[in-house]
Structure 1
Amino acid sequence: MSNLNKLNFTVLEVSGRNYLKWVQDVKPRLTPKNLFPTIEKETDNRVSEVEKATAMIFIKRHIHDDLKIVYLVEKDPRALWVTLADRFNHQNDIFLPEQQYRAQNFTKFSNLISILLLAQKKNQLLMKNHQARLTGATVMPEAHYSTNQHPKCQKRHGKGGQKPPRKSQ
């Protein structure tokens, strides 16, 4: 356990901003002590309670204090690992162009570039629309809406502009 403590690296932030780097730091440090099976997918390999406890201590020492409080009752390192992955692993969806090229199995790099350019154009259009009319700006009047400022000229009708029914006397 003392060797594990010597291997210091940045703790997992509450925002999860450094999750991918954190995972890359944790996995290689669990492997030499044969603790990696405690967090990997369930297999036939039995993991001792001592190994689970050691892995849990290591993981909890390398997460932010607020995350320690949130996952205080978690006793199984595999369950904690999966929970953290569910919470922060959405960052895998953000690919660099080269990673997208490999992940989507494009046959030509030019196909990837054309898709990225199309996405960029859509984003530019969205930004142009947003800048033309910012969120929270005053409401534009309806196209067929007209107002008469003189109170005597205003007709008062019920819902939908219909005249109220005549009262029979």
Structure 2
Amino acid sequence: MSNLSKLEFLALDISGKNYLSWILDAEMHLTAASLGKTIIEGNKESDEDRSKALIILRRHLDESLKAQYLTVKDPYTLWTELKGRFDHQKDVILPRARYEWMHLRLQDFKSVIEYNSALFQIVSRFKLCGETITESDLLEKTYSTFHASNIVLQQQYRERRFTKYSELIACLLVAEQNNELLMQNHQIHPTSSSPIPEVNATVSERGGKKHGHGLGPKQFINKKKGGYNSKGGNNSYQKKEKRHESICHRCGSAGHWADVCRTPRHLVDLYKASIKAKDAETNFAQYEIPLSSTHLDLPDFKTNAK
């Protein structure tokens, strides 16, 4: 439709499906413009006022519908002809509204807001057809359509003896929001669950290697500073670790026992010779054997008998 942005209310559809709401909007706008009497039978309004009223009515008609009433120059005549053409919509809308009201149930909606919106859409159609839904009707419809699991809750609301539907729906909305908050808190920390414990590396000695929870030798989790550390971090932890390290009496290296030592014989001999010579304390990790001056054969890497 042309000039759609200039419309004060929705234009009358050519099918007339929105006729009942259209006549209410049109009547209110004419009254606000002091032109309400122009659509009353036998009015004595001036030609200027009747022309203004006719312009408002025609501007809010579907283009195809407007073309059918080009020759009508009186607002009252246009008003009555449209009424005679589309007033039968009451006979269509009213039975439908009654059917929807009969099957309206609070338990069928996911939220109170959705139920409330659907209820007032039906109520508005009743009003358009000239029928009124009372406050007691609204209250009883809501009470009687609670879910079967909420019978006790429904009885508690009845005992509060609400006189206005708006008061009941306000309580239901608050209760619904509180329930959602409780569920969110429960999902964050379910019943009987405990916080995640602190993770510390567990070091064991198996075959000369240290095993932890995915950590290498001398690695641990520093909770205060965050992340994995291999050198820095908690000095007391490192001291404890060194204090409990095993020392091999065969080769002098740390991290394994003599019965699982796989150090080549010639290196063991070097270590024992250093002990006899009362040299400075040493271990396998301090030896630097130049590759150019050392010849290793396959037998050197075989396990030697103690």
* TM norm structure 2: 0.29
Q: Deviation at 1:92?
A: 1.8
Q: Deviation at 1:7?
A: 6.2
Q: Deviation at 1:32?
A: 1.9
Map of 1:23 onto structure 2: 23
Asked whether the 8 Å contact 1:11–1:63 carries over to 2, the reply is yes
Query: What's the % identity of the aligned pairs?
Result: 40
CA RMSD of aligned residues (A): 2.5
Instruction: Name the CA distance, whole Å, in 1 between partners of 2:68 and 2:46.
Output: 25
Q: Deviations over 1:58-91 (max 9, x none)?
A: 0000001111110000001000000000111101
Q: Deviation at 1:6?
A: 6.3
Q: Which amino acid is the alignment partner of residue 14 of structure 2?
A: V
Map of 1:41 onto structure 2: 41
1:68 matches 2:69:
no
Q: Deviation at 1:41?
A: 2.7
Structure 2 residue corresponding to 1:50, chosen from 40, 48, 51: 48
Q: Which 5+ residue runs of structure 2 have no aligned equivalent?
A: 99-122, 132-136, 138-306
Map of 2:10 onto structure 1: 10
Map of 2:80 onto structure 1: 82
Asked whether the 8 Å contact 1:12–1:19 carries over to 2, the reply is yes
Does the residue aligned with 1:78 lie in a helix, a strand or coil? helix
Work out the number of aligned pairs and report it. 97
Q: Which 5+ residue runs of structure 1 have no aligned equivalent?
A: 104-108, 110-169
The ranges of structure 1 where at least 4 consecutive aligned residues each deviate by more than 4 angstroms after the TM superposition are none
Q: Which amino acid is the alignment partner of residue 37 of structure 2?
A: P
Instruction: Name the CA distance, whole Å, in 1 between partners of 2:9 and 2:29.
Output: 10
Q: Deviation at 1:46?
A: 1.4
Q: Deviations over 1:21-50 (max 9, x none)?
A: 1111111111022211111232xx511000
Quickly say closer, same or farther: Cα 1:68–1:15, change in 2 above 3 A.
same
Instruction: Name the CA distance, whole Å, in 2 between partners of 1:83 and 1:76.
Output: 11
Q: Which amino acid is the alignment partner of residue 38 of structure 1?
A: T
* TM norm structure 1: 0.51
Kindly indicate whether structure 1 or structure 2 has the higher relative contact order, using CA contacts under 8 Å at least 6 residues apart.
1
Does the residue aligned with 1:46 lie in a helix, a strand or coil? coil
Asked whether the 8 Å contact 2:7–2:60 carries over to 1, the reply is no
